[in-house]
Homo-oligomer: A and B are copies of this chain.
């Protein structure tokens, strides 16, 4: 799709939101942006992309995240139906997280975004340098 068409469609959508959701916070797009923006959600989704994992596995694969925040992130994603949580009554109990169909379908637009990031990161970095060099 050409950028021009994307622009037009976005504008149309945006106008619709305005009428449909006078309170912008209830706009559907906001919800999704929140995942994407949340510091760790996407990384968790990607980590779960190929196979389900247990809590400890996730923690080990993403050591930078704190336990508390991992728990919260998982709860949030579960709440919105992007991942599912299965408790096995072993001893001690083990809990497995996996992507739902909905969560998996999010990977497609997510991938588009990540591709864009990779392709354009150089330009962004250069723009930043120029900006700084201009004394701003």
Contact = CB atoms under 8 A, between A and B. Distances in A.
Contact of A116 (B10, B13, B34, B106): B106
Contacts of A117: 28-29, 31-33
Interface of A: 1, 3-4, 6-11, 13-14, 24, 28-29, 31-34, 36-38, 42-43, 46-47, 49-50, 64, 75, 78-81, 102, 104-118, 120-121, 123-124, 126-128, 130-131, 136
B11 A50 contact: yes
B124 A80 contact: yes
- Interface majority SS on A: helix, strand, loop or mixed? helix
Contacts of A31: 117, 121, 124
A127 B80 contact: yes
Nearest to A15: B46
Contacts of A1: 108, 111
A107 B8 CA distance: 10
Contact of A108 (B6, B78, B106, B123): B6
B11 A131 contact: no
